[in-house]
Amino acid sequence: MKFRKNTTQDQDKMYGIIGLGRFGKALALQLAESGKEILVLDADEDSVREIREYTENAFIVKNLDKKTLLETGIQDCDVVVLCIGERIDTSILATLTLTSMGVPHVIAKASSADHGEILEKLGAEVVYPERDMALRLARRFDSSRILNYVELSENIDISKIPIPQKFVGKTILDLDIRRKFGLNIIAIEHDGEISTDVLPDHVFKDDNAIFVIGSYDKIRQLEESFN
């Protein structure tokens, strides 16, 4: 069951996913639908059979020792995501094995801060899916003005914010959002239509909303200045 890279997609990264729980399955489906080449491992036959509709590189693996992992070819992946955070001992040993095999980027799901600290010391990037989802939701609830919120990375967000009445009639240049807040306006909504043609002399109207990109803290500062 050796994994072979697709030479027609050598410019793309290869992704390995270990564990087809809710997190692993959702990740595998999203990557597959995005056209990425994936290799998936899980102990459950039904889960592996289901994911084979999306990739032929899906294998039933009952244990994650080095010999078994090498047989799957997962060491050829550029990124391997370990989605078995609930089984802490297995997670730790598998992370150690993957990093020792020379996988360039290992991402491991952690179930607690202590678990995550161990995984980091073993060389993995750590994710906390449940905690991170709760934080995203809390951020959405944290403001009455921010209409939409998208987290692009740990430090970069995009938010849609309606223009307050006191700024109607003023221009983008008048607000000077980039200098004052370190944010960029990437689009403007008017009458339900979104335009990415953002000009400094655009005059804001009653129903305008702006899409800004930058850090969450800066977006909050901008939102508070609108009050």
Q: Where are the domains of the chain?
A: 7-129, 139-225
Each residue of 214-225: pLDDT tens digit? 887 888 888 888
92-130 residue pLDDT tens: 999 999 999 999 999 999 988 899 999 999 999 998 877
CATH of domain 139-225: 3.30.70.1450
Please state the rounded mean pLDDT for residues 42-68: 93
Report residue 74's pLDDT band, with 50, 70 and 90 as the boundaries.
very high
CA distances from 115 to 22, 98, 122, 132 (A): 19, 17, 11, 16
What CA–CA distance (Å, rounded) separates 117 from 174? Answer: 47
| Residue 18 · residue 41 · CB < 8 Å | yes
pTM, 2 dp: 0.59
Give phi and psi for 197, each to the nearest 5. Answer: -85, 85
Pick the CATH number of 7-129 from 2.60.200.20, 3.40.50.2000, 3.40.50.720, 3.40.50.620: 3.40.50.720
